[in-house]
Amino acid sequence: MFKKILIANRGEIACRVIKTARRMGIATVAVYSDADRDALHVEMADEAVHIGPATAAESYLVADKIIAACKQTGAEAVHPGYGFLSERASFCEALEKEGIVFIGPKPKAIMAMGDKIESKKFANAAEVSTVPGYLGVIEDASHAEKIAAEIGYPVMIKASAGGGGKGMRIAWNEAEVRDGFDRARSEAKSSFGDDRVFIEKYVVEPRHIEIQVLADAHGNVVYLGERECSIQRRNQKVAEEAPSPFLDTKTRTAMGEQSVALARAVEYQSAGTVEFIVDRDRNFYFLEMNTRLQVEHPVTELVTGIDLVEQMIRVAAGERLPFAQSDIKLNGWAVESRLYAEDPYRNFLPSIGRLTRYRPPAEGKSASAIVRNDTGVFEGAEISMYYDPMIAKLCTWAPTRLEAIEAMGEALDGFVVDGIEHNVPFLAALMKHPRWREGRLSTGFIAEEYPDGFAPVAPNAGQEALLAAVALSASLIEANRRERFADRLRPPSGASREEWTVRLGDSYVDARLVDGLVTIPFDMDIEIGGKTFNVVTDWRPGDAVWRGNVAGQSVVAQIRPILNGLRLDWQGISLKAKVLTQRHAELERLMPVKLPPDTSKLLLCPMPGLVVSIAVVEGQEVKAGETLAVVEAMKMENVLRAERDLVVSKINAKPGESLAVDAVILEFA
Ligand code: ADP
Ligand code: ADP
Ligand code: MG
What is the distance of C-alpha 311 from the center of its chain?
A: 26
Report the residue among 563, 574, 662 best suited for mutation to probe ligand 2: largest number of ligand atoms under 8 A from its CB. Answer: 574
Task: Compute the distance between CA of residue 631 and CA of residue 608 in angstroms, rounded to an integer.
Answer: 9
The CATH number of 132-201 is which of 3.90.1580.10, 3.30.160.40, 3.30.565.10, 3.30.1490.20? 3.30.1490.20
Distant-in-sequence, close-in-space partners of 45: CB < 8 Å, separation ≥ 6? 7, 14, 18, 28, 29, 30
Taking CA atoms, 56 is separated from 60, 236, 597, in Å, by 5, 21, 42
The DSSP H or E segment spanning 373 is strand 370-375
Q: Please report the atom of ligand 2 found closest to the CA of residue 416.
A: 25
Spatial contact of 65 and 56, defined as CB atoms under 8 Å apart: no
Show the ligand 2 pocket: residues with CB < 6 angstroms: 345, 416-418, 421-422, 424-425, 428, 558, 569, 574
Strands 636-641 and 621-622: unpaired
State mean pLDDT over 637-658: 91
Residues 6+ away with beta carbon under 8 Å from 664: 602, 603, 604, 605, 652
Give the mean pLDDT of the chain.
94
Which listed ligand is nearest to 87 at the C-alpha?
A: 1
At 191 the pLDDT is 80
Helix (H, G, I), strand (E, B) or coil at 242: strand
pLDDT in tens, 221-274: 999 999 999 999 988 899 999 999 999 999 999 999 999 999 999 999 999 999
pLDDT-based confidence at 512, cuts 50/70/90?
Answer: very high
Mutational test site, ligand 2, from 355, 418, 423, 467, max ligand atoms within 8 Å of CB: 418
Q: Is 288 a catalytic residue?
A: yes
Q: Give Cα separations from 171 to 201, 342, 618, 639 (angstroms).
A: 10, 29, 36, 21
Domain 116-130+207-331 CATH class label: alpha beta
Mutational test site, ligand 2, from 342, 417, 568, max ligand atoms within 8 Å of CB: 417
Query: Does ligand 1 have an atom closer than 6 angstroms to the CB of 155?
Result: no
Check: CB of residue 135 under 8 Å from CB of residue 117.
yes
Q: Calculate how far, in angstroms, residue 268's C-alpha sits from the geometric centre of ligand 3.
A: 18
Answer left, alpha or beta for residue 476, where phi above 0 means left and psi between -120 and 50 means alpha. Answer: alpha
Ligand 2 atom showing the smallest separation from residue 562 Cα: 3
235 pocket-lining for ligand 1 (C-beta < 6 Å)? yes
Per-residue pLDDT band for 635 (boundaries 50, 70, 90) equals: low
Catalytic residue among 288, 296, 421, 464: 288
The fold adopted by the segment(s) 4-103 is: Rossmann fold (3.40.50)
Q: What is the pLDDT of residue 495?
A: 56
- Whether 488 has a pLDDT exceeding 50, the answer reads no
* Interval between CA 567 and ligand 2 midpoint (Å): 9
pLDDT on residue 617: 95
As a whole number of angstroms, the distance between CA 335 and CA 437 comes to 12
Question: What are the boundaries of each domain within the chain?
Answer: 4-103, 116-130+207-331, 132-201, 335-434, 461-588, 602-668
Pocket flag, ligand 1, residue 202 (CB < 6 Å): yes
Ligand 1 mutation pick, 287, 288, 292, max ligand atoms within 8 A of CB: 287
C-alpha of residue 421 to centroid of ligand 2, in Å:
7
With the CA atoms of 430, 435, 440 and 444 taken in that order, what torsion angle do they form, in degrees rounded to the nearest 10? -60
State residue 634's pLDDT score: 63
pLDDT digits (tens, 9 = 90+) for 53-96: 999 999 999 999 999 999 999 999 999 999 999 999 999 999 99
Strands (E), 399-506: 416-418, 499-504
What's the rounded Cα separation, in Å, for the pair 587 and 257? 70
> How high is the pLDDT of residue 534?
96
Res. 657 pLDDT band, cuts 50 70 90: very high
Alpha helices (H) in 99-236, listed in sequence order: 107-114, 116-125, 141-151, 174-192
- CA dist 526 and 88 (Å) reads 62
**pLDDT confidence of residue 326:** 97
Q: Note the ligand closest to the C-alpha atom of 235.
A: 1
- pLDDT recorded at residue 183: 86
Q: Is the CB of 131 under 6 A from ligand 1?
A: yes
β-pairing verdict for 207-215 and 221-233: antiparallel
**What are the φ/ψ torsions at residue 282 (nearest 5 degrees)?**
65, 20
How confident is the model over 547-556, as pLDDT tens digits? Answer: 999 999 999 9
Query: Which whole-number Å values give the CA distances from 25 to 3, 45, 81, 467, in the listed order?
Result: 8, 12, 19, 49
pLDDT, tens digit (0-9, with 9 covering 90-100), for 224-233: 999 999 999 9
* pLDDT tens, position by position, 189-203: 888 889 999 999 999
Q: Whose CA is nearest to atom 12 of ligand 2?
A: 418
Please give the CATH superfamily to which domain 335-434 belongs. ATP-grasp fold, B domain (3.30.470.20)
Q: Which of 169, 324, 311 is nearest to 234 (CA)?
A: 169
| Closest residue to atom 16 of ligand 2, CA basis | 418
Spacing, Cα 549 to ligand 3 middle (Å)? 42
> 285: Cβ below 6 Å to ligand 1?
no
CA of 168 to the centre of ligand 1 (A): 8
pLDDT digits (tens, 9 = 90+) for 34-55: 999 999 999 999 999 999 999 9
Name the most confidently modeled range: 342-351, 414-423, 518-527, 633-642: 414-423
Question: Closest residue (by CA) to atom 17 of ligand 1?
Answer: 235
* 386 Cβ contact partners less than 8 Å away, ≥ 6 residues apart: 33, 35, 54, 55, 56
pLDDT at 8 > cutoff 60: yes
Strand partners, 215: 221, 270
Nearest ligand to the CA atom of 167: 1
d(CA 642, CA 510): 45
Q: Give the distance (Å) from ligand 1 centre to CA of residue 412.
A: 28
Cα separation, 137 vs 404, in Å, equals 44
| Ligand 1 center from residue 180 Cα (angstroms) | 15
CATH architecture type of domain 602-668: Beta Barrel (2.40)
pTM of the model: 0.88
Q: What is the CATH number of domain 461-588?
A: 3.30.700.30
404-439: burial string, b at 16+ Cβ within 10 Å, e else? bbbbbbbbbbbbbbbbbbbbbbbbbbbbbbeebbeb
- DSSP 8-state code for residue 659: E
Ligand 1 near 236 CB (within 6 A)? no
Ligand 2 centroid, distance to 3 Cα (angstroms): 45
72: Cβ contacts below 8 Å, ≥ 6 apart: 49
pLDDT at position 490 is 53
Q: In sequence order, what E strands does 433-521 have?
A: 499-504, 507-513
Query: Is the minimum distance from the CB of 313 to ligand 1 under 6 angstroms?
Result: no
What proportion of the chain, given as a percentage, has pLDDT over 70?
Answer: 98
**Residue identifier of the C-alpha nearest atom 19 of ligand 1:** 287
Q: Do domains 116-130+207-331 and 335-434 have the same CATH topology?
A: yes
